[in-house]
Amino acid sequence: MSRSIMQEYKGCYVCGNTQYVEEHHIFYGGRNRNKAEEDGLKVFLCYEHHRGTNGVHGKNGHELDLKLKQAAENVWIQQDSKTQEDFIKRYGKNYLWLRNKGKSGQRKKYNF
Q: What is the pLDDT along the chain (112 residues), one digit of tens a residue?
A: 579 999 999 999 999 999 999 999 999 888 899 999 999 999 999 999 999 999 999 999 999 999 999 999 999 999 989 999 999 999 999 999 775 444 444 455 566 6
Cβ atoms of residues 102 and 66 within 8 Å: no
- The three-state secondary structure class of 22 is strand
| Distance from C-alpha of 81 to C-alpha of 63, rounded to nearest angstrom | 27
Q: Which of 62, 21, 35, 52 is nearest to 7 (CA)?
A: 21
Q: How many residues does the chain have?
A: 112
Distances in Å between the Cα of 90 and the Cα atoms of 24, 36, 72, 87 are 19, 10, 13, 5
What confidence score (pLDDT) does residue 104 get? 46
